[in-house]
Structure formats: structure tokens, C-alpha cells
Structure 1
């Protein structure tokens, strides 16, 4: 082996890729900090306002008949408590969003999905008033793909912490709870650990692959250099 060439390659490649090692180490430290400063993800359990089951007057079939669609192909039906009253949440094959029919009087209300989401957010935040600020059908820089569930409503509490929650009416729960400080830590982690500042996923994956190959190569050169420069027995 040419130890001089290996040493030179190891030195310059190590210098070129050392920044990725620093980023990985720094994000690892930040990850440990975040496990202590941030609460775990919310439990995926329904958190509506409850209901009076004795008020239910309509069967599922009768509720489906109240939909504006003609002969809808029903895929799922949930019974939700919204404002203390029972509502059928109905998913059909052709509808892009859940439809709501009152289990009390058969009234269909297209605005009930947002009202249900707001009630979930308010209950999660201990009764705090909330304001809808977004409706997401795709992931973005704050609500990233690790949260998996779409679509979701975003509600802001308007408090000093800049608290906001993301709500899925499909699961009937809050899927993400964050605020200014938590998001600051999460943004740093995403940018440093996953190169989130590169917007295009294909480009980001390519850069991560090249960087990791480079680090692997530097490690291999270090091993080769150790072997090439080991003391020789006389």
C-alpha cells in the first residue's frame, strides 16, 4: 500500500466530510435535549365533547339516506359527540371529506367537520379559545411526514407561547401539539439531522447518500492507513 497517498486522501476527505460528522453529533445531542424539553406526541384517542346516547333517534341507514348523494357507497361511519349531541360522521366513496348527519333530527351540516375539529382542539388545550389558521392536505416544513395523518386542521391558541395544534377529524384527535420554543428546536433538528433546508426531497436524499458514502470512505481509509503504517517486525 502507498501510505503517503492513503494519508493524503484520508486527510483531505476527512476535512471535506467532517462537517457532516459535526452535524450528526450535534443533532444527536439536540435529540436528547428534545426528549426532555418536549412532551411526547399526543395519544391518538378521540377527544370530542361527549354525547347523550339517549338522544339518538336515527339509525345509520336513516342517516345515510339524508345525504345529498343519490345511493351513496358508504365506506365508514363513526358516531361522534359534537357540542354534546350525537352526529354520524359518514365517509362515502365519492366524497373527499366526511359528511355529518345529526343522529337526533337527521339534519346534514357541511360545516360540522370544522366545528368538530375546533372542539377537539379546545378540549385538548383545557378549554382555551382557538382560531383556525390552516387546513393541510399536504405536509409542510412544520407538519412533516413523520406525523403521517392528513388532512388536518391547524388551530392557534393565540397565547404568549404561540401554541398551536393539528387536528384530524378522521381519528378524532390531536396529531401534533407545538409552540414557538418546541418548533425552534424541531426546526434545528430537521435542518441539521435531515438537511431539511434542501426543499427538494430527491436532491436531499442524494446529498445525504453522497455524504454518508464519503464518511464511510474516510473510515475505510483510516483503517487502511492504520494497516499500512503499523510497525513491522524485524
Structure 2
């Protein structure tokens, strides 16, 4: 059977498809925003805290004699020396030298380069931790970490109930963050809420995915307006009437051999709705959405103009003979004929069941 889809304007089919896919994608993202927003409001903030066992830095005052840093400053003048900063690591003074391209750390009491061992990194992590868990071996992070560090980032896991993980900058000895299973949930909610699926993106409210969803929402609205206008022009939608509906005439349903099978009262809605009022006389699989094509019937006379769904589901021969989808046309006084033996058998079986 040759389809008449070619008669259906291609722009309309494209608009319909675009509208449905945009509705699915944008609607799903709106549900994610709703769910994560509710989660942030309903979950106690302490249940998402990453710093349950984190202690503030309480470095002791520097009492060790300091070496003269002039030689270090002179050494890095050629690299664009910016500043010299005094700090401490494990209660030992440290010079931090910043240039235009890099930072360097030296023990301030000896001017030797500071190279922290795994044992020293573990001591730094332990000093920032108030929990009772044991410290595990220093290792590289298994997942991408969006921390700013001057050297390689290392991770130390603990054995506490929250699964606390401590991240350090191995070059400076700085504790970058504490994380645990609670904060993992918080990070997941933030990632979903801000569509922040790239760790390096950071908290950015105007990245590419947000822009794409915004454009998708705009196109969804525009395609919806086009769809609404097109359906009105096709007669598929009508403004509600404020006066009571009065039934005028009957729907006469005939078999393929022009045998009168039923006279049915007209009800508000489509022809399919009136045909199935009280009992299911015409079976469909899409519920009257114009998708399955099972509700097609032939107008014995005065067939209405086909709409897009008719053009998409029916062949040219069917259209020319007056076949239309009964779910797509308003109920009216008319003569309709079944077009398949399957429809006739279903109607007879349905009538017999109703009689019994």
C-alpha cells in the first residue's frame, strides 16, 4: 500500500519531530532541576558536609632562625620574581617564591628545596584530621579532581565511617580539601543541578550545556506555537463552547458490504469517541492519538478534508475513496463504513460480549 506521506508538508513533520524530542530532553532536564532543588531544600546541610573531621590550621609561631633569602631572590630574578612569602610546614619555616610562571618552596632554615616524603604528607593530613580513622597509603587520585595545585595532587584515605578522603598539594604541602560519602552526594546534586559534567568547568552558570538547553527551551516554545497554530488551521483544535452541547443527527455505521450495523448518538469530541461511547466498537492501540491508524473508516458521503495525520497514515487510494482516521475528525451526523474484516469481527465480538 503506497503511503501518502509525501503529501504531508515536510516542514510540519520536521516541526512535530523536533517538538517531541525537545520536549523529552528539556522536560527531563526540568525534572532533574526540580528533584535536585528539592533535595537541597529538604536534606539537612550537615548531612552533606565534607569537613566533618577537618581541623583548622593551627601552625605554631616560627621560632627557628631563618636563612637570608637574598640568594634565592637573585636566583629567580631572571624568571620574573614576584614575591617571597614565609609560611610553615610541619612547624618548620618555608620560603615560597612566586615567579611569573611557577612557584618554588624552600626550607627557610637551610634554603634547601622542600621535597615532601609520603610520611611527611601523611603527617600533614593527620594534623588536619580529627576523626578516629587510620590513615592509608598516599596515592594519586583515582577520579578527576577540580583543585588548583602547584604540584601533583595526592590522596590519603581514612578508615572512618564516612570514608573521609584528604587531598594535598604535594609541592606546597597544602591541604586542598576533605571529602567523604556525604560530600560525594552533594557534588552529584550540584553536578546534576548545574549540568556540570566536566570537572574542569567549575561552578559556571553559563557553560555550553546550559546554553544548549536554553536554546532548546526556546525552540520548544516556538515549535509549540507553530504546532498549536497548525492544529487550529487543520480543525484539530477548537475553542471551547460555553453553551450546552445538543446532539443533532446520528452516526450511521455500515459494514464493508453496506449493511447498516449501528445508529449511534453523537457525543462531544471526535467520531472515535462517539463510536466507542458505552462500549468499544473500534479498537485502537494509540488511544486516539492518530499514530496507529486502526480507527480508519470510510465516509460514505461528504468526506472532510484530510489533515496531517490522515495524510501520514493513509494511502492515496484510501484518501481518494473517503477513508479518514475517526480519531482526527469531530463527531457529526454522517455515514461511515468499516474498511477491514478485522474491524467487523471486533465489532461483532464486542456486541456479543455486551449482549451477554
TM-score range, shorter chain: 0.5 to 0.7
Task: State whether residues 46 and 172 of structure 1, in contact with CA within 8 Å, keep that contact through their aligned partners in structure 2.
Answer: no
Within the alignment, does 1:125 sit opposite 2:90 as a pair?
A: no
- 2:38 paired residue number: 29
Higher Rg: 2
Q: Does the alignment pair 1:84 with 2:91?
A: yes
**2:70 paired with 1:61:** yes
Q: Deviations over 1:50-96 (max 9, x none)?
A: 24x3322423326x27xxxx8322433222223323232334557x5
Give secondary structure in 1 for the equivalent of 2:76. coil
Q: Deviations over 1:104-131 (max 9, x none)?
A: xx25143248777544432221276644
Structure 2 residue aligned with 1:100, among 99, 103, 106?
Answer: 106
Structure 2 CA distance for partners of 1:97 and 1:57, relative to 1, 3 Å: closer
Stretches (4+) displaced over 6 A: 7-11, 113-116, 169-172, 198-201, 228-232
1:163 to partner: Cα distance: 0.6
Separation in structure 2 between the aligned mates of residue 175 and residue 231 of structure 1, nearest angstrom = 63
Indicate which of 9, 16, 29 corresponds to 1:20: 29
Does the 8 Å CA contact 1:41/1:177 hold for their aligned counterparts? yes
1:210 aligned onto 2:219 = no
Counting only pairs closer than 5 Å after superposition, residues 1-234 of structure 1 correspond to structure 2 as: 12=20, 13-33=22-42, 36=45, 37-39=47-49, 47=57, 49-51=59-61, 53-61=62-70, 64=72, 71-73=75-77, 74-92=81-99, 96-103=102-109, 106-112=110-116, 118-126=122-130, 130=135, 131-134=137-140, 141=144, 143-144=145-146, 147=147, 149-151=148-150, 152-168=153-169, 173-191=174-192, 193-194=194-195, 196=197, 208-219=210-221
The TM-score normalised by the length of structure 2 is: 0.43
Deviation at 1:183, TM superposition (A): 1.0
1-side partners of 2:65 and 2:30: how far apart? Answer: 61
Q: Kindly indicate whether the alpha-carbon contact (under 8 Å) linking 1:154 and 1:166 is maintained by their aligned counterparts in 2.
A: yes
Mark the CA change 1:83 to 1:214 in structure 2 (over 3 Å): closer, same or farther: closer
**Partner Cα separation in structure 2 for residue 170 and residue 211 of structure 1:** 40
Cα distance, 1:14 vs structure 2: 2.9
Structure 2 unaligned residues grouped into runs of 5+: 1-11, 202-206, 233-237, 242-356
TM-score under structure 1 normalisation?
0.61
1:194: Cα distance to partner?
A: 1.0
Hey, which of these two has a bigger chunk of helix by percent? 1
User: Structure 1: how far apart are the matches of 2:99 and 2:183?
Assistant: 38
Of the two structures, which has the highest relative contact order with CA contacts closer than 8 Å and spacing of 6 or more?
A: 1
**Which deviates further from its counterpart, 7-16 or 71-80?**
7-16
Shift of 1:101: 2.2
5+ residue gaps, structure 1: none
